[in-house]
A and B are shown apart, each in its own frame.
Chain A
Amino acid sequence: MTRLVISHVGKTYADGTEALHDIQLHADTGEIVAILGGSGCGKTTLLRLVAGLDQVSGGTISIGDQVLAGTHPSISAVFQEPRLLPWLNTGANIGFGGQRLSATDREARTAALLDRIGLAGYASRWPRDLSGGQQQRVAIARALIGHPEILLLDEPFSALDPFTRASLHELVLDLWRELRPTIVMVTHDVDEAVFLADRIVVMRPKPGRVHETLTVDVPRPREKLASAFDLMKRRVIRAIDRSLADERRVGIRVGSGGMSPWV
């Protein structure tokens, strides 16, 4: 089993700011792990370390027996913004994610993915001609064309309207069922975390650290109006409240006293 293991990872910037402190977590093969937390708790920093875009200051990140040092061919990512290359058309943008594929494979997978994300016939369109949701679909397809073992999602749905967000949740789940990558996603949306994840890691800030990990025991397919879903959400919100209380105890100023900002 190829696990992603984050072991005692810390990140301190050159100016002395400690962004992450002794992070320990793992993701099993094919698991979806959501990292949940407010702004500034180091979620994105952690994801950037896993992606190899930044260097850890301490600890290790490994896949199986291999300790990561920089980017890795098995790891792919979707960012908060689609980050499509504006000089490549839609098809070429998807193909860009398959650098290691042969031209024939890349072409075939691009066509299949375009169809899969509902953009068949859009291959020659420029990114500028796509809506925000369509661009993010292309970004997801680009991240999956190489069949990565680990897919990192850095709040890719946060800038989208609720309708588009819901359809992209379904798209990600469909592609996950089909390709079974391990997904580590960062979000500040409790609904999204409960809907998509197998486990939820609640983080708290200054410096960013893991506060609590919860297993989502809601059977798939998940129904957002089901009572099990609602109960799970309450458990997550209580965990967040506990993390906020913990912060107050150590004298860190947080938002409005007592009222959870997550509901």
Chain B
Amino acid sequence: MRLTTPGPWVVGLILPLTLGVAWEVAVRQGMVSGRLMPPPSRLWASAWALIRSGEMTTHVLATLWRVGIGFTCGAAAGTFLGIVTGASATVRRLLDPSVQALRAIPSIAWVPLFILWLGIFETSKLALIGLGVFFPVYLGVLSAIQGVDRKLIEVGRVFGLSTIGIALRITWPAVLPVWVASLRTGLGLGFMFVVAAELMGASEGLGYLLLDGQQMGRADTILVAMIVFALLGKAADSLLVGVSRPILRWQDTARSRL
């Protein structure tokens, strides 16, 4: 008889489910109080209350909007500047040292300056998220362009492609896998920076929910916000992977064979 192998996502659920059940049992048996680490049933009750009141939707939409706009702007700027510096040695010599110097500054260190320049409201938050997304995308695109196989470029030259033709038909497809990987890194950082952005004075958003939970002493609210962050981050990453899969199906990678 052949046993059906469970999918990897099922295997991945075993550890958190076991820990959750064990914690629930421990709290219900009075072995621990569960005040600072509420059991799953209490988390679910808090989450359900937030959902029913509509608060959850407001916070999730606010966070997603910020990440969406910040990510789009940061990724677009990183891609554009990565292409320009990758394509032109002169531009690279001119710009790259400055960009690398700016990259060495921890992004959070920009917060006071952004608040001073752009105010406490949305613009400074979007700028912080965009900055976090920008650097990995810029670096990824720049290094991928510089790493394109010279031999493939020569194929384009022998078969009569113009410089633009080579850029579009050889360089860009060759860069795509790294670009997608850098977008995924950027998206992850976008979710990281939205927390920092929303901690610096927001009235809605999951980051605000975290801060609110801390100020009200509600560990359950904090944990619910963290779990929703994880779910949103994973969903956004999966969406990016899903969208890019059709254009990267040619890749000869271990993943494509497994």
Contacts and interface: CB of A to CB of B under 8 A. Distances in A.
Contact of A53 (B158, B170, B173): B158
B153 to A, nearest CB: 10
A96 B159 contact: yes
B252 A86 contact: yes
Given A86-B250, A86-B252, A126-B250, A99 B159 contact: yes
Interface of B is mostly: helix
A53 B160 contact: no
Interface string A44-79: 000000011100000000000000000101011101
B161 interface: yes
Given A126-B250, A128-B252, A76 B159 contact: yes
A85 B170 contact: yes
A81 B151 CA distance: 9
A146 B251 CA distance: 28
B159 A53 contact: no
* Consensus secondary structure, chain A interface: loop
A99 B158 contact: no
A238 interface: no
Interface residues of A, number: 24
Contacts of B160: 71, 73, 99-100
A53 B157 contact: yes
Contact of B251 (A85, A86, A96): A86
Contacts of B26: none
B158 to A, nearest CB: 5
A83 interface: yes
B151 A83 contact: yes
Given A52-B157, A99-B159, A85 B173 contact: yes
Interface string B120-152: 000000000000000000000000000000011
Interface of A: 51-53, 71, 73, 75-77, 79, 81, 83, 85-89, 96-97, 99-100, 126, 128, 142, 146
Interface of B: 151-152, 154-155, 157-161, 165, 170, 173-174, 176, 250-252
Given A83-B154, A96-B155, A142-B159, 13 more contacts: A52-B158, A53-B154, A53-B158, A76-B158, A76-B159, A79-B154, A79-B155, A83-B152, A85-B170, A87-B174, A87-B176, A88-B250, A146-B159
